[in-house]
Amino acid sequence: MFKGHKKTRVTLLVLLIVLSGAGAYWAGMLALSRNPVLNFDVVEEGKLFRSGQPETGDLDRIRDKYGLETIFCLRGRERSAVKDWSQKNEVRVISIAMKADDPPTADQIGLFFDIMRGSTVDLVHYQPIITQSLGFSPTEPVRFEFPVLIHCEGGADRTGIMVALYRIAFQDWTLEQARWEMRRRFHLPHRHPAQLKFLEKIAPALHPAYGGKAGQEE
């Protein structure tokens, strides 16, 4: 009996230490205006990064370490603090509204690919899907500078599918490579099954063509 109680107390003590450490980490990150679960990764050096919702401290770090010229938000609206930061640092922000459960539309993919081609983008065509624009006019052609940070809330589902499309169309990745990266970046197929099904359907049309017109048949 005594040994059992002692083991229980040790287990509880270890659990409390772990929880205290996790709490201290979260508190410290928030105090630095950083997202404790940013899910950040470099997709292509000097060109494209991915993450969950960044805080201003994250943006400072990313800009200082990698450079940052454009934020592509998939959540519909960027947070006020990020808007203020982008205006202060002359970083453009463009937002569209995607849903984790729904695959991207042809125009959403088309806008992303047009930005990543590095050519001048005809924004008039994409006006219906642009929900927010900072640092440029949404009715005039514009060339978005690199590097670009693409993000949603957690950086797993909406960001995951867009990056997977980019990998296949621009970097010659296989469907399996792109699918594996989505899972590695915390995409859970059983929660959002439509995304991987869409990727499997569209991959053959994307693979042969750099920045192909994905999803036009959808």
128 and 172 housed in the same domain: yes
105 and 18 housed in the same domain: no
95 and 193 housed in the same domain: yes
Q: How far is CA 187 from the centre of its chain?
A: 12
92 and 147 housed in the same domain: yes
Q: Which two tokens stand for residue 58?
A: 């994250």
pLDDT digits (tens, 9 = 90+) for 164-215: 999 999 999 999 999 999 999 999 999 999 999 999 999 988 866 555 444 4
Residue 184 located in a structural domain = yes
Residue 117 located in a structural domain = yes
11 and 117 housed in the same domain: no
23 and 112 housed in the same domain: no
pLDDT at 130: 97
5 and 76 housed in the same domain: no
Count up the domains in the chain and report the number.
Answer: 2
21 and 109 housed in the same domain: no
Query: What is the rounded CA–CA span in Å between residue 181 and residue 167?
Result: 10
Query: What is the rounded CA–CA span in Å between residue 217 and residue 213?
Result: 10
pLDDT at 157: 96
Task: Give the chain's end-to-end CA distance (angstroms, integer).
Answer: 66
Residue 215 located in a structural domain = no
pLDDT digits (tens, 9 = 90+) for 111-151: 999 999 998 999 999 999 999 999 999 889 999 999 999 99
Q: Which amino acid, residue 148? A: V
27 and 45 housed in the same domain: no
128 burial (CB, 10 Å; 0-12 / 13-18 / 19+) is: exposed
27 and 119 housed in the same domain: no
In terms of pTM, does the model score above 0.75?
A: yes
107 and 138 housed in the same domain: yes
Structural domain range at position 136:
41-206
75 and 166 housed in the same domain: yes
**Strand 130-134, strand 41-44: pairing:** unpaired
Q: What is the mean pLDDT of the chain?
A: 87
